[in-house]
Structure 1
Amino acid sequence: MNMEFIEALQQIQKDKGISKEILIDAIEAALISSYKRNFGTSQNVRVEIERDTGDVRVYSQKQVVEEVEDDLLEISIEDAKAIDSNYDAGDVIEREVTPRNFGRIAAQTAKQVVVQRIREAERGVVFEEFINRESDIITGSVARVAKGMVYINLGKTEAILGPTEQMPNEDYNHGDRIKTYIVEVKKTTKGPQIVVSRTHPGLIKRLFELEVPEIHEGVVEIKSISREAGSRTKIAVESKDPNVDPVGACVGPKGTRVQSIVDELKGEKIDIIKYSKDPSEFIASSLSPSKVLSAVVNPDEKTAKVVVPDYQLSLAIGKEGQNARLAAKLTGWKIDIKSESQVKEE
């Protein structure tokens, strides 16, 4: 290695932000292994790279001891003092043992170490970028689909959309542009692993924050979300300004805001409900689009008995109980729904 190599390390430090000293230390450590492997020795050695010239030197190290047990690692006090009278037990004697052709091995090893460190640094940059974007939306394109997994190209890296995070009514084809929700960013030996979702309720929250200025500005707040991905979502909203209708803000002029979210979710139905601190009122609203005649709550057991018109019973319960299930999840209350006729009979 030579001065050009040192200049190259300085350029890497400037471009990639990897310290030249860290690189040199890593190369020196790797060269110790290379020396032992190529020259079949188990003796202690130290490798030193001259910071100014790039010259590489190898030094064998032996410890001065009273009684020698291993010639490769130790030297007697008598022999040490023959070299220099100042040596004493416990000191380490170094002697240069740089092989004639070690420069070629050093250059190959250095290249491997530098490439590896650059790759690690770049992975670190990607990890730091995406770890700060957990619980956020990101747009990417479908790179490939393999064994049920969808791999999404995010530019610098790929994200993984697993089977349980895929919407049941969606097909994923190469090149498709899709929005996903970043669930988790993990460090692995192969670089950062970014796990994304299309089914997470957080996707709904972030889509509304992007689409509705009043939510982004904090005037309208999303209080809770319940979702059965690909089918139906209920979202409860509250306004901090009495002059702003939270439901109207989310629906948008002629329904444009909510419609753009429905389109992004490939037709998933969205019920927007006005939040209320009054549990009876909130529970009644949560069963939308069904009409509710009365809702009697038991705060101790956190249960509610709801009465609906006879013709609205199936609508209130929903197909396979979905509407009632989503309402219970949205409000956090156990809801018992009965028709007027059933109540009269009881």
Structure 2
Amino acid sequence: MSKELLGALSALEEEKGIKKEVVIEALEAALVSAYKRNYGQAQNVEVSFDDKKGEMHVYAVKTVVDDVVDDQLQVSLDEALEINKGYELGDEIKFEVTPKNFGRIAAQTAKQVIMQRVREAERENVFDEYSKYEDELVTGTVERQDTRFVYVNLGKVEAVMGSKDQMPNEVYRPQDRIKVYVTKVENATKGPQVFVSRTATGMLKRLFEQEVPEIYDGTVEIVSIAREAGDRAKVAVRSNNSDIDPVGTAVGPRGQRVQTIVNELHGENMDIVEWDEDDASYIANSLNPAEVIDVIFDDDNERACTVIVPDYQLSLAIGKKGQNARLAAKLTGFKIDIKSETEAKKILADKAAAASDDTEADEASDQGDQTEDSTEDAPTDGADVNTNPDESNEDTQD
């Protein structure tokens, strides 16, 4: 067994990258359990592996005491001193107790430990490899699909794509080659679990980085993405070079760059808008393709605003089922209320009228107060009127 075991340990280190010391440590722990299972649980034993000869040795570890209570765990001081004059109370002494047939048990245990370590190492290597792809695009092959998941073969691991990560306008067939975005990699008991998506905003960002060199190198930056996967998305971009138009760069000559992305996502429409540090301008840009007349911010909520558009642009600004407004709100982080120009004018007129009525009412109230004050201060033509009933009675009696 010794030569075979040493050869196996060397092969593991060279081929699998599993250090010999790691396997030996696991093997010694497993052999302790095997010994106790076969020869007695009560003993305190250690197993030592001689990596030069490939031999296993089992030792019973006993503590030096005055009076022995348990001879499997303790040894008397007198007996210890016969072994070595230097022993003291509390010291531990190792006695070799290797059984004659322990080689067979050791061989079986070694095989199991090595196989287990190989599986663990392979799982760890796969996890390390694929955890590097988290937040990245990878290409895989559709293996199968059930009612909830699509399973994608990425080579060494099968990735899982949940229902919310599947595009509503796509059909996944076995052997289809697809690009997916790795959202999470977990080191599970049965091996690495890789979760992928085609609906994540990160997928769209990585596609733009692939198709637009200026985005990949940071000349043009994606600031925000709002996406309703499979239908429509808005992407806000800005340029870190004043000579480069961020929107035109992202769209590409004759729209080729963005069209490649649209094709990859099977027809998902793209609105590329320019980010602006001025919130009003940014909000106006986000409602593209609609024209915006004005953006009025809410005094009570700094992240809310009313956007005024021409009457004929109202439907375009809101979008089908409110989609354009909804995506603009997600993109900018503002609550957006869209009004037509006519509606806005009416609201302003109503507010002005209400303000005028309030002013007139306040003026009338002020005049009434002034009249009352004048009446109280003015003298009467006749005698003073005393409203105190007691004083009135006294005057009458006189």
- 1:187 is matched with which residue? 187
1:217-239 superposed Cα distances (whole Å, 9 cap, x missing partner)? 22211111111112211001112
Q: Is the CA contact (8 Å cut-off) linking 1:223 and 1:275 kept in structure 2?
A: yes
Indicate yes or no: 2:222 matched with 1:248: no
1:257-296 superposed Cα distances (whole Å, 9 cap, x missing partner)? 1111111112111111122222222211211122223333
- 2:33 is matched with which residue? 33
- 2:333 is matched with which residue? 332
The aligned amino acid for 1:329 is K
Q: 1:313 to 1:42 in 2, by over 3 A?
A: same
Q: Identity percentage over the alignment?
A: 55
- 1:16 is matched with which residue? 16
Separation (CA, whole Å) in 1 of partners of 2:187 and 2:72: 41
The aligned amino acid for 1:9 is L
| 1:133 positional shift | 2.6
1:248-287 counterparts in 2 under 5 A? 248-287=248-287
- 2:313 is matched with which residue? 312
Separation (CA, whole Å) in 2 of partners of 1:123 and 1:343: 63
1:276-319 superposed Cα distances (whole Å, 9 cap, x missing partner)? 22222221121112222333345862333222222221121112
Q: 1:230 to 1:85 in 2, by over 3 A?
A: same
| 1:30 positional shift | 0.6
Separation (CA, whole Å) in 1 of partners of 2:127 and 2:192: 5
Separation (CA, whole Å) in 2 of partners of 1:333 and 1:105: 70
* Secondary structure, aligned partner of 1:218: coil
| 1:111 positional shift | 1.5
Q: Is the CA contact (8 Å cut-off) linking 1:165 and 1:198 kept in structure 2?
A: yes
Separation (CA, whole Å) in 1 of partners of 2:119 and 2:173: 30
| 1:80 positional shift | 3.4
Unpaired stretches in structure 2, ≥5 consecutive residues: 348-398
- 1:301 is matched with which residue? 302
1:132-151 counterparts in 2 under 5 A? 132-151=132-151
**Structure possessing the higher relative contact order (Cα contacts under 8 Å, 6 or more residues apart):** 1
Segment drifting more, 194-203 vs 206-215: 194-203
Q: 1:147 to 1:27 in 2, by over 3 A?
A: farther
- 1:44 is matched with which residue? 44
Separation (CA, whole Å) in 1 of partners of 2:189 and 2:5: 28
Segment drifting more, 238-247 vs 207-216: 238-247
Could you say what the CA RMSD is over the residues aligned between the two structures, in angstroms?
2.0
* Secondary structure, aligned partner of 2:277: coil
- 1:201 is matched with which residue? 201
Separation (CA, whole Å) in 2 of partners of 1:179 and 1:147: 21
Separation (CA, whole Å) in 2 of partners of 1:76 and 1:174: 73
Residue-pair matches, total: 346
The aligned amino acid for 2:330 is K
Q: Is the CA contact (8 Å cut-off) linking 1:3 and 1:52 kept in structure 2?
A: no
| 1:82 positional shift | 4.6
* Secondary structure, aligned partner of 1:291: coil
* Secondary structure, aligned partner of 1:10: helix
Q: Which has the larger radius of gyration?
A: 2
1:137-163 superposed Cα distances (whole Å, 9 cap, x missing partner)? 111122232451222211122222122
Q: Is the CA contact (8 Å cut-off) linking 1:287 and 1:327 kept in structure 2?
A: yes
- 1:323 is matched with which residue? 324
| 1:55 positional shift | 1.3
TM-score (normalised: structure 1): 0.93
Q: Is the CA contact (8 Å cut-off) linking 1:279 and 1:297 kept in structure 2?
A: no
Indicate yes or no: 2:119 matched with 1:119: yes
Separation (CA, whole Å) in 2 of partners of 1:146 and 1:42: 52
Q: 1:173 to 1:38 in 2, by over 3 A?
A: farther
Separation (CA, whole Å) in 2 of partners of 1:129 and 1:185: 10
Indicate yes or no: 2:221 matched with 1:221: yes
Segment drifting more, 126-135 vs 254-263: 126-135
1:100-119 counterparts in 2 under 5 A? 100-119=100-119
The aligned amino acid for 2:5 is F
Unpaired stretches in structure 1, ≥5 consecutive residues: none
Separation (CA, whole Å) in 2 of partners of 1:243 and 1:86: 85
| 1:337 positional shift | 0.7
1:47-79 superposed Cα distances (whole Å, 9 cap, x missing partner)? 122111111122222222112222221122234
TM-score (normalised: structure 2): 0.81
1:69-84 counterparts in 2 under 5 A? 69-84=69-84
* Secondary structure, aligned partner of 2:64: strand
Segment drifting more, 295-304 vs 14-23: 295-304
